[in-house]
Structure 1
């Protein structure tokens, strides 16, 4: 689970490697995310950004294996875009978060191999031949790895959650046309950009993962269905309260980071405070099941007794012509030995039902307090 806490990226609650870039500016308010190719030898970008003489930097570098290194905090200016313009606003370094994806960039075919500008070569069969006007026409490109695309998607998602001010995701070629050709035309930029449409909710698999962790920690959140409903929000609020977080009922950046933290505090009692009687019965509580059986039996017996005696005495009551006469007839019957026995039977069954209901509520209270869990 990716999250950004205090402007630094964490994965499953653990900070990614942070290597301070040599070139960094002042504070920024991020408006866009800019995707780049490193356009250099694999593994060279981080060391290059550490050199003052490079005069460049980026916030993140995503390696071929999907691993991520951060070099500049997200609220600081990095020098990755150069001469650029977005929606009429120049110098995108002043408001853009730069993500460098390890890739050689546009390649040149010579013989049966495709060469990068720095001399590295790949068999033509491993490269893609594409024609894109925005990327300077026809050329060859080395595919991005599935691990890279997944990592970039997760990183962008974390950025969108942490920084509501970000409103666009662009390729370097879009803000520096004719000067830059990265990211390549084969990068699924439109798919990544589509995250903007549902930025207010984490991805379903992230919600599902959060639900599973909540359940493991004792904050029952219902089924791990990937949807945030009433139970999940209640579990999140309790989790946030127990772990000293702002209580929102949402999977915000701080909550996501704490959920992924092995040191996250479990529910003190192993339960939550909004559990229902039905859920305790479904979980196999013998006390709740027994009490429910007694209550149901009492209800059946009361109903049977009422129906039986009502049938026998309804005709007597109906002989009265007025409502008062009928009431007098029924009252007279209730004062007979048979009537008193019937009323007493119903009263006893009612008391049994009330006692069983009291046992249910007492068991529910004990469960909430962590007493006799599982009984």
Structure 2
């Protein structure tokens, strides 16, 4: 993968309005892996994209009432088939982590990159997703000097009381094996 000015070349790019500038002295030093499906447990629809773009109509599905008005984004989404979509420049702050802390530092959005995998805590992620995530992580590690393989965590690790994703279905061992290739 090629990274230019915070954007991946040759992937679909969508400019989410749910992002802003990182605070000064907030170098990228953490990669947070998330899991998402909308509606919960359903894959392949337009709703994740609509959520990140701020266009999700909560009236389309009664299960969307709980996220009505939510302003959230990730830097990137990896769909079940391995398609990679980028919503926010990696140099900017995406709104993915919420209340969070890592290694004694709060507000992980300030220094983290958030990557969503289309999935659920209990549905195995696909080989394509792991391969794309590993390649993306290698690219990001090569570009951001403070980001290392040891500083890749799940959402559940930075917000353990609130979040469980990517969940027990995410195979950290397999991912780390791909990362070292």
TM-score, normalising length: structure 1:
0.40
Q: Which is higher, the Rg of structure 1 or of structure 2?
A: 1
Distance 1:144 1:195, change over 3 A: closer
Distance 2:51 2:27 in 1: 26
What's 1:169 paired with?
152
| Higher helix proportion (structure 1 or 2) | 1
What's 1:315 paired with?
none
Distance 2:178 2:19 in 1: 28
Aligned counterpart in structure 2 of residue 19 of structure 1, from 11, 14, 20: 14
In structure 2, the residue corresponding to 1:182 is in which secondary structure? coil
* Structure 2: gaps spanning 5 or more residues: 56-68
TM-score, normalising length: structure 2:
0.80
What's 1:50 paired with?
53
CA RMSD of superposed structures (Å) = 1.9
* Structure 1: gaps spanning 5 or more residues: 107-140, 204-375
Matched positions, count: 158
Contact 2:5/2:91 (<8 A) preserved: no
What's 1:188 paired with?
171
Aligned counterpart in structure 2 of residue 96 of structure 1, from 102, 105, 112: 112
Distance 1:78 1:7 in 2: 12
Shift, 1:186, TM fit = 2.7
Distance 1:81 1:29, change over 3 A: same
Distance 1:75 1:17 in 2: 17
Distance 2:174 2:98 in 1: 25
In structure 1, the residue corresponding to 2:94 is in which secondary structure? coil
Contact 2:16/2:52 (<8 A) preserved: yes
Shift, 1:51, TM fit = 0.4
Distance 1:80 1:193 in 2: 22
What's 1:31 paired with?
29
| TM superposition outliers: structure 1 runs of 4+ over 6 Å | none
| Higher strand proportion (structure 1 or 2) | 2
